[in-house]
Amino acid sequence: MNHEIAISIEPISDNNQAMLRGVIDYVNANSNLRVHKVGAVPFFPLANLKDWNGAGVICTTETVKQLNTVSKLKIPCVSVSLHHTPPDSLPTVHSDNEAIGKLAAEHLYGIGLRKFAFVGNENWSHNQERLLGFQTELRKKRADCEVINVQFANSKQWAWPAEIQRQPLASELKKLRQPIGIFAAHDEFAHDVVETLKTLQIQIPHDAAVIGVNNNRLICETTEPPLSSIVQSAHQIGYRAGKLLHELILGNPPPSEIIRVPPEGLVARKSSDCSAMKDDHIVAALSYIDLRCGHPITVVDVADHVGVSRRTLDKRCIANLGYPVAEQIRRSRINKARQLLDSTNLQVTAIGFMCGYESPSGFIRAFRELTGITPGEHRSTSQN
């Protein structure tokens, strides 16, 4: 039996389009599913679903009104939004927002900053979770952050494209002690932070490093300086939402909790360039490690390259990053391995050698110690 499903995800951003592709890839892999299209586009307005007789729907629920609309539907439904806490009756697939906050803290702390701020909307569930992840990771490093709640220009409800009231934002940003790392919960917010900082004549990234979330290239690459951003695993969110909806259509019970998908990583651009770090030796060491992490380099090799003793370099690395040089080498190798696992079909053994590991067992052990899973498990998760 064929089941026709609707997708109510507006293709207005890279993130939404990737989610759409994820759903469609799942549908294309299952011959008993097909996507309802309006004209040429696989998008069905949520407001029109009450009169539709299909098998199920995957949708965004970014407003209370949309949540109310979905709750009245008589067909299986999966949400891919977390602006508001969904009712237990609405299965939801979303990012692991606390992991997003943790990644933001690691990045900003890792470039040598020790003062931090979060910019977001305190009324949105996923912003609250991103803040929690950010704060939790910073507290492990004995740091904390200021919190700036955005105010919207036209109404209390966000509408795309977002417009933030700049004057209240400027007043809050002016109070921050520099240099500072600023984590904005969305690229739109991060863009407004950058523009407001420039009006205050605060240099980016030297006095304030800024990162956002979503890696919306239309925003990130047209912001000056270009905006660093955390990449959500949007394709995987869409794919898993498609799989979950299929299970619901077939009569399987809904999950008891929100399905949370870890972020892909962070795309670093000039808004958080590592030149914000004060220690030139650590900047040089990080650049060398990133360039050479595929080779069997040692801490002595790095120290010789930057012209200091191993002991001095380790002390400076711990002071700036919170861990020694050997740990930075390991992190760079595993980050490179993640990229190769996600973007190539190379065998795990080959990837290990390309990332500087002399044996498959050493690579697998190091990967598991840092990520909690094996390279094979990482690849399976990223492809499902």
Contacts of 125 (CB under 8 A, 6+ apart): 82, 83, 84, 85
Q: What is the pLDDT of residues 151-168, one digit of tens each?
A: 887 655 555 556 778 899
Q: Where are the alpha helices (DSSP H) in 206-324?
A: 217-220, 234-249, 280-292, 299-306, 310-321
User: At residue 277, does pLDDT exceed 80?
Assistant: no
Q: What is the pLDDT of residues 23-74, one digit of tens each?
A: 999 999 999 999 998 888 899 988 888 888 899 999 999 888 888 888 888 8
Q: What is the CATH class of 279-383?
A: mainly alpha
Which residue intervals of the chain bear CATH 1.10.10.60? 279-383
pLDDT band at 383 (very low <50, low <70, confident <90, very high): low
Evaluate whether 16 touches 234 at the Cβ level (below 8 Å): yes
* 32-66 burial code (b ≥16 CB/10 A, e <16): ebbbbeeeeebbbebeebeeeebbbbbbbbbbeeb
Residue given tokens 């979770």 in the structure block: 129
Task: State phi, psi for 143 to the nearest 5 degrees.
Answer: -130, 165
| Token code pair at residue 342 | 């996600």
Strand-by-strand arrangement of the 265-267 sheet? 145-149, 116-120, 180-184, 208-213, 228-231, 265-267
- C-alpha to C-alpha distance for 37 and 81, rounded to whole angstroms: 21
C-alpha atoms less than 13 angstroms from C-alpha of 219 in its C-beta half-sphere:
27
Give me the CATH code for the 3-93+234-261 domain, please. Answer: 3.40.50.2300
Evaluate whether 215 touches 187 at the Cβ level (below 8 Å): yes
Evaluate whether 170 touches 146 at the Cβ level (below 8 Å): no
Q: Where are the alpha helices (DSSP H) in 94-233?
A: 97-110, 125-140, 166-174, 187-199, 217-220
- C-alpha to C-alpha distance for 318 and 297, rounded to whole angstroms: 19
- C-alpha to C-alpha distance for 225 and 214, rounded to whole angstroms: 17
Which residue intervals of the chain bear CATH 3.40.50.2300? 3-93+234-261, 97-232+266-275
pLDDT of amino acid 274: 58
User: At residue 316, does pLDDT exceed 70?
Assistant: yes
| Token code pair at residue 236 | 């995987």
pLDDT band at 187 (very low <50, low <70, confident <90, very high): very high
CA of 259: how far to CAs of 104, 236, 262, 360, in Å?
21, 11, 10, 32
- DSSP-based three-state secondary structure for 8: strand
Partnered with residue 56 across adjacent β-strands are 5
- C-alpha to C-alpha distance for 344 and 239, rounded to whole angstroms: 19
Q: What is the pLDDT of residues 188-221, one digit of tens each?
A: 999 999 999 999 988 888 789 999 999 998 999 9
> Which among 311, 322, 320 is positioned nearest to 284, based on CA atoms?
320
pLDDT of amino acid 169: 94
- DSSP-based three-state secondary structure for 293: coil
Does the structural domain 97-232+266-275 have CATH classification 3.40.920.10? no
- C-alpha to C-alpha distance for 220 and 268, rounded to whole angstroms: 10
Q: Fill in the DSSP letter of residue 39.
A: T
379 residue type, one letter: R
Evaluate whether 242 touches 235 at the Cβ level (below 8 Å): no
Number of other residues whose CB lies within 10 A of the CB of residue 369: 10
Q: What is the pLDDT of residues 222-263, one digit of tens each?
A: 999 999 999 999 999 999 999 999 999 999 999 999 999 999
- C-alpha to C-alpha distance for 1 and 100, rounded to whole angstroms: 40
pLDDT band at 91 (very low <50, low <70, confident <90, very high): very high
**Model-level pTM greater than 0.85?**
no
Q: What is the pLDDT of residues 338-348, one digit of tens each?
A: 878 877 889 99
> Which among 238, 230, 324, 321 is positioned nearest to 271, based on CA atoms?
230
pLDDT of amino acid 212: 97
| Token code pair at residue 61 | 């629920």
Mean pLDDT of 253-278: 83
pLDDT of amino acid 382: 61
Average pLDDT of the chain, as a whole number: 89
pLDDT of amino acid 369: 87
pLDDT of amino acid 276: 47
Dihedral sign for Cα 300, 355, 337, 292, please.
Answer: positive
